Structure 1
Amino acid sequence: MADNGGAPNSLDFQVDKTNLYREISITDLKIANIRQLIPVNADGSDDANRETIFIGNTQLGTPQGPIPMQAVLEAGTIEEAMDLFPKAMELETQKVIENFKRMEAQQKKEKSNIIVPGMN
């Protein structure tokens, strides 16, 4: 939080002019959405001193609703990013499954620690 005249709970909305990107979104209208983040200077010109970033996005459908997934794709071109997308999403899916298993185990552990009066 920034000090904005001493106002409590004030937010800092300053733009980091040294970390700007132009975004291009590419999709197959099915499962894949790839964001290409091209570094730019404050005047909007391309910043050749920084690397382009590719981020893959998709959603998993579950009975509880969609789960958004995202992964950085270590690619130099959009074609490389498309090739890396399936494996990156598989890895993210595994992470989501592991997190659910961990949460489920924690919930079971918490339930087993409940003491019910009159139960021996």
Structure 2
Amino acid sequence: MSEQTEPVKEEADAQMELTNLYREEIYTDRKIGVIRCLVPVLADGNKDESRPVIYTGEAQIMTQMGALPISFDIEADSLEAAVKGYREAAKAGVERTMKELQELRRQAASKLVVPGQPGFSSPDASGSGLVMP
């Protein structure tokens, strides 16, 4: 008989919050990007007037590895204001993403393998200088 294991904590916490529900609406101009509108709702599906609508934008930037999706918040109190604020919010989102990518590159570059440390292997006997794991 196989041994039973404890459920993963995320699975145990996978219950949705009845008091924190949103209806998602998607708007696009089919040229530049997408605005997602998260409308707070009550358990019966009616709009919850006590909570604000949340606007987020989506865009893509092209990299050497292909399209990179960017998601960003748009501070707005209406769809019209979100559309007008899209450009600045997208610019800030792209700048934030570029900084994060630079930090990841910096971290990767600082993980140089040095002789005598774990992960270092001397060149193979073929003299090619390539070490295959």
- What interval of TM-score do these two structures reach, taking the shorter chain for normalisation? 0.7 to 0.9
Q: TM-score, normalised by structure 1?
A: 0.81
SS at match of 2:111: helix
CA RMSD of aligned residues (A): 2.2
* Number of the residue aligned with 2:111: 110
Q: 2:100 maps to what in 1?
A: 99
Could you list the runs of 4 or more consecutive aligned residues of structure 1 that deviate by over 6 angstroms after TM superposition? none
5+ long unaligned stretches in structure 1: 1-5
**What percentage of aligned pairs have identical amino acids?**
32
Task: Please identify the structure whose Cα radius of gyration is greater.
Answer: 2
Going from structure 1 to structure 2, the CA distance change for 1:28 and 1:41 (only over 3 Å counts) comes to: same
| Superposed counterparts of 1:50-65, under 5 Å | 50-65=51-66
Segments of 5+ residues of structure 2 without an aligned counterpart are 123-133
Alignment partner, residue 50 of structure 2 = 49
* 1:84-120 Cα shifts (integer Å, max 9, x gaps): 1111111111112212222222222222x52276xxx
**Does the Cα contact within 8 Å between 1:56 and 1:72 map onto a contact in 2?**
yes
Hey, what's the Cα distance between the residues in 2 that align with 1:72 and 1:32?
Answer: 13
**What are the residue-to-residue correspondences of 1:1-120 with 2, within 5 Å?**
7-9=6-8, 11=11, 12-111=13-112, 114-115=114-115
CA distance in 2, matches of 1:77, 1:8: 42
Residues matched between the structures, number? 112
Taking structure 2 as the reference length, the TM-score comes to: 0.74
